[in-house]
Structure 1
Amino acid sequence: MKFSFEEKGEGKTIVFVHSYLWDREMWREQIDLLSQKYRCISIDLPSHRECFEKLKKEYSLEDLSQDIIDFLEEKGIEKYHYIGLSVGGMLIPYLYEKDQNKIESFVMMDSYVGAEGSEKKALYFHLLDTIENIKKIPPVMAEQIAKMFFANERKNDSNPDYVAFVNRLQNFSEEQLEDIVILGRSIFGREDKRETLKKIIIPTTILVGEEDEPRPPYESEEMGHLFPNAKVIVIPKSGHISNRDNASCVNRVLKNLFL
């Protein structure tokens, strides 16, 4: 798998993987901070920025994690820290199983590695089926989706991130949407990987937005009890994209961890 990515800074490596439907620009403020001391590599999910090769219909989170591991291997990276938000965080159990000897720490943000609940799964699959059929994300649906990602006070047109995200959703090409639908089905149809968390002794920090609608804080608290070596931090005044809703708070946490 060929990935589009950005690399900035020198030193030990930190790998970033963003949320579904976003791209590496989501991490701009965090990379600007951490690249002062680290080699930051921010990877785009397939077809979320550029299209290189079509995903197979049954492409899974395990496949994605292996493709990322292969990509890092090709770049000659022997050790790395890993920061993943939403689906980026869902990859952590797979990365641990396949690449644990290279990983120095995990930061899991706004994520959950249990199976998707039946109600949310039905909603998400309905949206994916609709997108697949009409080959676009129309304005009303774009706003419906965008509202899931932000804190209550930021899910409106006064928030530039919200406006930009609504526009982004409407501007995906048909080619991009084919892969985005495939990846969405693998995310929301994922297997339950909570048992793997009990084996992860790598230092782990779990961050979650106080107002995260898709991944509410109680899910992070549940996972925090499963990891042998994890702490959970709730980010105030933030939703699912906590690093955008409250970048200053997230950056303070990352500064304490890495700088």
Structure 2
Amino acid sequence: MPQIDVNGTRLYYEDTGQDSTGGGSTGETIVFSHGLLWDAELFAPQLAHLKDRYRVIAYDHRGQGRSADDTVSSISMETVYQDAVALIEKLAIGPVHFAGLSMGGFVAMRLGARRPDLTRSLILMETSADPEPAENVPKYRKLNFVARWLGLGLVAAKVMPIMFSQDFLTDPARAAERAHWRGKLVGNRRSIWRAVNGVIDRAGVHDELGRIRCPVLVMVGDQDVATVPAKAERIHAAIPQSRLVRIAKAGHSSSVEQPVAVNAALDEFLKDL
């Protein structure tokens, strides 16, 4: 289980590709940064699809997945951003194509705006440049309180429709997949509340988007209720060199809900670069 000590924590990461020490067949590296409550497995379809052409790295955020825990009450997005910077620098892999979904997108936008030397391109999936909408905060804090003290099993029925589209949740052929992801949700460590607080408490970065100079792909599922398509459109409008792709029949976890469509969008974007 590869781990790396960076920024005062220990991160789990997966490093695959044609040459996991110097890039894939293109000599380029893609780093994947997952969404809240999940881990690097969120990008398993993309890692398998891209590893023959690129060096592909996916890592778990501090306090989540297989990375080290934390002791603060709220793991800030600034800290998680600094973790990503330290990971790229310590592995000496920059500049990279940096792909972030939801929480990973919060990291990606900060990285693109503040460290252009480390970013070849950005892939922003199911994310927002704004703070958490005020109307969501009381609901999410309540769910987080229950999860912290009573366990995630009691909130899974509320969280699954936030994380996945209705198409994914109601398709009989995908029952095994739903069970798998529900199991991962419920299996989160109790201390996940620290990471949830960081997402709820985050500051917006919309005013920084104009500083992003690298090519940007913005993707959003047309059934995403966590970061609705209007959020993606707002990001796209603020970054002139961006392109926007809507993923049909996908919610907040498009990478596993519609992997073929997501992979096709990645191929088209990367090919043009």
Shorter-chain TM-score tier: over 0.9
Task: Give the match's secondary structure for 2:163.
Answer: coil
Superposed counterparts of 1:27-176, under 5 Å: 27-134=43-150, 136-138=151-153, 140-156=154-170, 158=172, 159=174, 160-172=176-188, 176=189
Equivalent residue for 1:256?
268
Q: Which residue among 239, 249, 252 is the counterpart of 1:227?
A: 239
Structure 2's unaligned 5+ residue stretches are 1-8
Equivalent residue for 1:5?
13
| Displacement after TM superposition at 1:52 (Å) | 2.4
How many residue pairs match? The answer is 253
Contact 2:99 2:108 in 1 (8 A): no
Q: Using the alignment, how far apart are the partners of 1:157 and 1:236 within structure 2?
A: 15
Contact 1:200 1:228 in 2 (8 A): no
Q: Using the alignment, how far apart are the partners of 1:249 and 1:53 within structure 2?
A: 34
Q: Using the alignment, how far apart are the partners of 1:2 and 1:113 within structure 2?
A: 27
Task: Give the match's secondary structure for 2:115.
Answer: helix
Structure 1's unaligned 5+ residue stretches are none
Offset from partner CA, 1:23-70 (integer Å, 9 cap, x none): 111111111111111100001122332252424224310111101211
Contact 2:63 2:195 in 1 (8 A): no
Superposed counterparts of 1:171-190, under 5 Å: 171-172=187-188, 176-178=189-191, 180-190=192-202
Q: Using the alignment, how far apart are the partners of 1:82 and 1:41 within structure 2?
A: 10
Equivalent residue for 1:196?
208
Q: Using the alignment, how far apart are the partners of 1:49 and 1:126 within structure 2?
A: 22
Letter aligned with residue 91 of structure 2 = K
Task: Give the match's secondary structure for 1:234.
Answer: strand
Report the TM-score, using the length of structure 2 for normalisation. Answer: 0.88
Report the TM-score, using the length of structure 1 for normalisation. Answer: 0.92
Contact 1:6 1:43 in 2 (8 A): yes
Distance 1:94 1:214, change over 3 A: same
Letter aligned with residue 238 of structure 2 = L
Give RMSD over aligned pairs.
1.6
Letter aligned with residue 15 of structure 1 = V
Contact 1:106 1:204 in 2 (8 A): yes
Contact 1:16 1:83 in 2 (8 A): yes
Task: Give the match's secondary structure for 2:155.
Answer: helix
| Displacement after TM superposition at 1:154 (Å) | 1.4
Q: Which residue among 187, 195, 215 is the counterpart of 2:227?
A: 215
Contact 2:94 2:117 in 1 (8 A): no
